[in-house]
Every structure is written in C-alpha cells, then in structure tokens.
Amino acid sequence: MRPRVNPALFFLLPALTLIAVFYVVPLALSIYIGFTPLRNWNIAGGYLSQVTLENYERLFHMVMYDPDIGKVVATTVVFTVVTLAVNVLGGLALALTMYLMDLSGRELSLGFRTLWMLPRMTPIAVYSLMWYYFFLPGEEGILNSIAMRLGLIDEPVNWGNDPDLLPYGAWAILVVVNGLVGVSFGMVVFYAALRSIPREQIVAARVDGASTLHLVLYILIPQLRWHITYVTVWQLLSLLTTYAHIFLLVEWGAVDEFWGSNWALYVFNKAFALGESDQGLAAAAATILVLIGAGLGVLALRLMGFGRMMAEPRGEV
C-alpha cells in the first residue's frame, strides 16, 4: 500500500535542486579551481585541466612577503575582532535598554527595534552611498563639514586614505559601517531571550529589593550567557566572510585599497577585477575561508542545540 516514492521528495525537490546547483556543485568546483591556474575567466582555455599546488604556494609567499597582503591580513584580524565586540556588546546594550524600557508596561521599543534593523535591510548601494557622503574627503563631506564648523579641524581630512591616519582611519570606517549592520542580530536575539524570561523572576527580584543594576547584572545577563556565546560565534562567522558592505567603499576610494580590504573582499576583487583577474588564486584563498567557516559553523550549531529543534514528525500517515 505504501507508495514507492516518498512524497517528501515532491516537496523537497525544488529546494534540493537549487541547493545542489548553487551550493554543492560550486563548493566542490571552487575548491577544484583553487588547484588550477584559471585566470581572466578563460574557461575554455585549458587552464581547468591543469592541476597544481602553485596557488597555495603563491598565497603562502604573498602572506609572508607581500606588504599589501600583510595589510589585508592585519585588516581582517582587527576589523573582525573589533566589529565583533561592537556587535555583541552593542546588541546587548540595545536589547537591555529596550527590555528595561518595556518593563514599564508600555511597548516603547518597537519603533527603536525597527530603526536599528534598518541598516541590515537598506540596499547596500544606498547604505554605502550614505557613508561615502559622510566620510567624503572634501569640505562637502558630512563629517568634515561638521568637524570644521565645530572648530575641531581647520582643513578637510581624507579620513580613509590620509597616510597620517592610516591604518586607523580606514579601520574605523570599516568598523562603524559594518558594526551598525551587525548590531541588530544580537539585539534581536537578546531581546527575544530577555522577553522569554518569566516575569515572575523580575517581580521576585524587585520584592527582594534589587536595583535595576542588580537586576541586569545578577538576573538578566547570567541568563543570556548562552545566547551571548551563540551570537558571538555566529557573528564571528559572518564577519569573517562579509565583504558586500565594504566593496563599494573600496571601489569608490573612500578607504585605502589594502588597509580597507578584508580577506573576503580581497578574494572577490582578485576574481572579479576588471583588468587582470586570477580565479585560481582567489579560489585558493576562498578555500581557506571555507575551512574556517565550516569549523565555526559546526560549533555554532552545537551551541544552538540544533538537534533539539528538530523534533520528529508525529503520526505516520
């Protein structure tokens, strides 16, 4: 009586096809390209049949001796660590503030939560454009204009490129721009977690005479420990692999090409540069990211307690 083909296949087929074509095949292909000297997208040129370790050797050599790559590596580390801290701590601060606001019984935080989600949802080109205006080197740049009016500087500053400010100027721009995008993730997770803490605990703590500071330190934050770890790992992962929000800032020259590029953006530009492009090297560099990403991803799922969320279906019809 049981049909030969599981009906689940019908439901899964479209998604699985897309996943196979746009994840599984490319992933294998990307790793393979890393072992070929493919350049300038010359797919038909016979590069793809030559297997070599040359890209990894070059990559190693560049990291060791090429000062530009050294800048990219340093930027990647600093950018990732500092933005991560901004994201997690900022998200925590936002969530706590909003939660405490809402404790008064009025839903005051809804508008704020939406507002802080906005950078994530804003078209990347527009978001980059706004920051481009903000850090514009001339007098018409927003930051320059405000700082000059306030008398903080006499002449407009080239925030992302001035040799005197490098690398800190470029780094600060990257952190501000990406920090604002990432902060909403922590905010949403922490806020939801705080809201799920039984209200009775807060009442009990108040009855016991806890001040708001006590409440935060001894009741709220300890219960967020697990969420903080989870957000940190997940956010670390996405910061390591993000490049879209930096891409235009580098292309438009708002930040220095190397002090303003992280590893992922370097890979992207290596592969898609308009002139000489080198997909073999880019794919090899991307493979390193994949390895780190896979490790962190598995860790994040462990932390999420992922298995528990996959309850078995009930019934057998």
Partner 1 sequence: MARLALRRARAEARAAERVMGDVETLRSARRAYLLAAVLGAASLPMVLLYLLLVLSSFADTIVTGPDILEARYSLDNWLMFFRGEVAPAAGRLYTTADILATIANTAIVALGVTAVVVFTSVLAGYAFSRMRFRWRRGLMTFIILLHAFPGVALIIAVYAMYVWSSMPLARSEGAMVAYAFAFTVLARASLELPMSIWLMKGFFDRIPWEVEWSALIDGASRLRAWWQIVLPQVKPGIAALAIFAFLAGWEDLIYVHVFLYIGTAGKVKTLATLIEELTANIETSYLPVVAAAGTLYLLPTILFFVLTQKLLLEAYSGGLKA
Partner 2 sequence: MVEVSLERVTKRFGRVVALDQVSLVFEDGKFTALLGPSGSGKTTLLYIIAGIYKPTSGRIYFGGEDVTDLPPNKRNVGLVFQNYALYPHMTVYDNIAFPLRLRKLPESKIDRKVREVAKMLRIEELLDRYPSQLSGGQQQRVALARALVKEPTVLLLDEPLSNLDALLRVSIRAELKRLQKDLGITTIYVTHDQAEALSMADTVVVIDRGRVQQVDTPQNIYNRPRNLFVATFIGSPPANVLYARLTEKNPSLACVEVNKARFCFEGERAARLSRLGGEEVVLAFRPERARLGTEPRSDMLSIPAEVYVVETLGRENVVTLVVGASMVKVVTPPSQVPRLGESYYVLVDPRDVMLFDPVTELNIDYIEA
Q: Is the CB of 200 or the CB of 316 nearer to partner 2? A: 316
Phi, psi of 8 (to 5 degrees): -60, -30
Q: Is the CB of 3 or the CB of 209 nearer to partner 2? A: 3
Assess contact for 256 and 278: CB atoms under 8 A. Answer: no
Q: Is the CB of 44 or the CB of 311 nearer to partner 2? A: 311
Q: Does 317 bind partner 2 (CB under 8 A)?
A: yes
Residue selected from 132, 159, 258, 259 as contacting partner 1 according to rule CB under 8 A: 132
The two structure tokens encoding residue 18: 């897309």
Residue selected from 181, 241, 258, 259 as contacting partner 1 according to rule CB under 8 A: 241
Rg (CA), the chain: 24
Assess contact for 107 and 228: CB atoms under 8 A. Answer: no
Cis peptide upstream of residue 37 (ω within 30 degrees of 0): no
Place of tokens 């190693």: 60
Q: Is the CB of 10 or the CB of 65 nearer to partner 2? A: 10
Q: Is the CB of 65 or the CB of 153 nearer to partner 1? A: 153
Q: How many CB atoms lie within 10 A of CB 274?
A: 6
Q: Does 1 bind partner 2 (CB under 8 A)?
A: yes
Contact window for partner 1 (CB under 8 A) among 63-71, 72-80, 98-106, 152-160: 98-106
Residue selected from 63, 81, 101, 217 as contacting partner 1 according to rule CB under 8 A: 101
Assess contact for 220 and 100: CB atoms under 8 A. Answer: no
Residue 8: CB minimum distance to partner 2, A: 16
Footprint of partner 1 on residues 16-35 (CB under 8 A)?
Answer: 16, 18-19, 21-23, 25-30, 33
Footprint of partner 1 on residues 34-73 (CB under 8 A)?
Answer: 38, 41, 43-44
Q: How many residues bind partner 1 (CB under 8 A)?
A: 123
Residue 295: CB minimum distance to partner 1, A: 10
Residue 225: CB minimum distance to partner 1, A: 16
Q: Is the CB of 65 or the CB of 270 nearer to partner 1? A: 270
Contact window for partner 2 (CB under 8 A) among 81-89, 97-105, 144-152, 309-317: 309-317
194 closest CA partner among 224, 239, 235: 224
Here's the x/- map for partner 2, 257-296, by CB under 8 A: it reads as ----------------------------------------
Binding stretches for partner 2 (CB under 8 A) = 1, 315-317
